[in-house]
Structure 1
Amino acid sequence: MLTSCTIEKPAAPSAHVPAELYAGLAAEAACISPKFLYDALGSKLFEAICELPEYYPTRTEGAIFERHGAEIAQACGAGTTLIDLGAGNCAKAAALFPLLRPSQYVAVDISTDFVSEALARLRQRFPHIAMSALGQDFSSGLRLPDSVRAERRLFFYPGSSLGNFTPAEARAFLRRLRGQCGLDGALLIGIDLAKEKALLDAAYDDELGVTAAFNLNVLRHVNRLLGADFDVRRWRHAGFYNEALGRVEMHLEAREAQRVRWPGGGRSFAAGERIHTENSYKYRQADAIALLEQSGFEATRVWLDPRRWFAVIHARAIAPLGA
């Protein structure tokens, strides 16, 4: 049984992180995984992005939960173990507590300190719910401690975060979740749907430049993790919808030719050369449901906003693949 509030940090703090970053920066087309966008400052900047008029996903999804909350709660059932993936400030899950009435809440986020602080505040409002914070990079594997109840697990993955994976990666990720659902588990997931390019371009390159600051901050994070010497002033943000690939892309573009160094190595970047930092795939509703089915889930209910920009899907775990 969980204590009222426990904090579990990674056992070996990111021993693989330098190797992963080195490999990405050394690739022919340089890249940095989007998970590194979310240090403490990055997490706060993303909170600010969610308040921007251009960034529709958060408020559109929130309106779906507000309008259909009772139906969503009925589909999920009370007394679940609610496992919040990429919990951040825990606000989305907390807003649903009165309806979902979970018996346990597990907040999982790569930014350990950020989610721990959020959970400490949350337990004061909901002292009757057992709570735990897990500081993990769940994108490559989720390790739930024995204290997390195995029965009636409800994985909560709101927002458009599934789009950060390629479709093949998303399928593998969902299959791993299915493996931890047991016989009576389920998934409550937000899916950003395909829409016109102008809306998507504005959402990922806002007028105030908050998204640009969020993207550029990853270079400061890399400097700390690797001991690198990226100069943020020599880079610019580029965010746009790639219609051919059905995804929004975020890049950092070198303003001028430069050499970036880190202990044991470095790389030269030409003016205009880019570092790819994030994808956000946008799905058609039918394709999203098919992806869930291929991953061992059956979509039981789908809720949409009036403009059909966003979908919230409840999916129950079905027989394991190959069973």
Structure 2
Amino acid sequence: MSQITQLMTNKVDTQFLNDVIAGLSQRQKNLPCKYFYDDVGAALFEQITELDEYYVTRTELSILSQYSQAIAQLLPDNLSIIEPGCGSGKKIAYLLAHLVNVKSFVPFEISSEMLNYSLAHLSPLFPELAIAPLLGDFTHSQMVKQLSREAQLETQTNLVYFPGSTLGNFSPVKAIEIMKNFHRLCGINGYVLIGIDLVKDRQVLLDAYDDKKKVTAAFNKNLLLRINNELGADFNPEQFTHQSRFNEKLSRIEMHLSSDCEQTVRLNGQLFHFAEGESIHTENSHKYTLAAFSQLSAQANLRLEHTWQDQRGYFALCLLRPL
């Protein structure tokens, strides 16, 4: 594991630098949201999930609490469960408590720290469960192909569990690619269970991504600190303001960091200039209707079979099968 971790860390650092330079070189500067989650970012996100304004996590947990048994009844025994971007492992515990004879649990993370965190949380709760961590980037199709072959995931029946509305962070084209990766990971006649955030009142959405305690602002700005710490940039996060915006046309919340003044940032021998008010686009969170999500899934050769929602219709868990 240590050798794999070291190889992966080196690869991520190079890719991180390339992605940051590419993003800051665009007319609309941007940064990939997958880099939010260093140790500090992951801890801040856990705080976000407890905020009054952030309905997503507690709503999804309420759906799991109510429907985990019903979901489990639709799944066969002896499944392996794969959770890309497993985080703390809090949500998978609901399903594991109701499933019978789970063959193994495979937390699939780009961060070795988050893999360790998930293991520490789940091992005491399910001491008999075989946990087989997988270190890699589930958004990278070639890597998924290689890892699924090496771990022999393609030859068995799996449930790919992807909660938290994370799919909405990606463009429709990338979301389709990721769901194609899940199609591969689910193996022979497998299943995919995805959480999606549904279209709702605009102000509810804006407040969820710009809380009064400014935890989301700290989470957003921490990405600049990570770039400073790991890549040697000289961002001053105090000269950027966190913003949440709703893009009606694309049905998505956008997070931005807006420059408070004209300034220049140095990274890897390059200069990146910011005008006052110019922003870095750091995250999207697409909001779906069930019809739109069904159409998106079909493009990844997945069929929407069952959905479970809360009473307000804020969030849905969707069970998909390969076409």
Normalising to structure 1: TM-score of the pair? Answer: 0.92
- 1:183 is matched with 188
- 1:146 is matched with 150
After superposition, the Cα gap between the structure-2 partners of 1:200 and 1:264, relative to the gap in structure 1 and judged at 3 Å, is: same
- 1:289 is matched with 294
- 1:216 is matched with 221
Amino acid at match of 2:275: A
Please, what is the CA RMSD of the aligned residues? Answer: 1.8
Amino acid at match of 1:146: E
Equivalent-residue separation in structure 2 for 1:289 and 1:34 (angstroms): 24
CA displacement at 1:8 relative to structure 2: 5.5
On the 8 A contact 2:8/2:136 being kept in 1, the answer is: no
Equivalent-residue separation in structure 2 for 1:129 and 1:148 (angstroms): 18
After superposition, residues 110-259 of structure 1 pair within 5 angstroms as 110-141=110-141, 142=144, 143-144=147-148, 146-147=150-151, 149=153, 150-259=155-264
Amino acid at match of 1:125: L
- 1:321 is matched with none
After superposition, the Cα gap between the structure-2 partners of 1:66 and 1:174, relative to the gap in structure 1 and judged at 3 Å, is: same
Amino acid at match of 1:157: F
CA displacement at 1:76 relative to structure 2: 2.2
Equivalent residue of 1:162, what SS?
helix
Amino acid at match of 2:123: R
More helix by percentage? 2
- The runs of 5 or more residues in structure 2 that have no matched partner are none
- 1:73 is matched with 72
- 1:55 is matched with 54
Larger mean CA deviation between 179-188 and 164-173 belongs to 179-188
Equivalent-residue separation in structure 1 for 2:184 and 2:223 (angstroms): 32
Larger mean CA deviation between 143-152 and 279-288 belongs to 143-152
CA displacement at 1:148 relative to structure 2: 5.1
- The runs of 5 or more residues in structure 1 that have no matched partner are 319-323
Larger mean CA deviation between 119-128 and 257-266 belongs to 119-128
Give the length in aligned residue pairs: 314
Equivalent residue of 1:22, what SS?
helix
- 1:37 is matched with 36
Equivalent-residue separation in structure 2 for 1:220 and 1:109 (angstroms): 22
On the 8 A contact 2:68/2:94 being kept in 1, the answer is: no
Amino acid at match of 2:63: I
Equivalent-residue separation in structure 1 for 2:85 and 2:40 (angstroms): 15
After superposition, residues 266-305 of structure 1 pair within 5 angstroms as 266-305=271-310
On the 8 A contact 1:84/1:157 being kept in 2, the answer is: yes
On the 8 A contact 2:139/2:181 being kept in 1, the answer is: no
CA displacement at 1:6 relative to structure 2: 10
Normalising to structure 2: TM-score of the pair? Answer: 0.92
- 1:64 is matched with 63
Give the share of equivalent positions with the same residue, in percent: 37
Equivalent-residue separation in structure 1 for 2:164 and 2:140 (angstroms): 19
On the 8 A contact 1:7/1:133 being kept in 2, the answer is: no
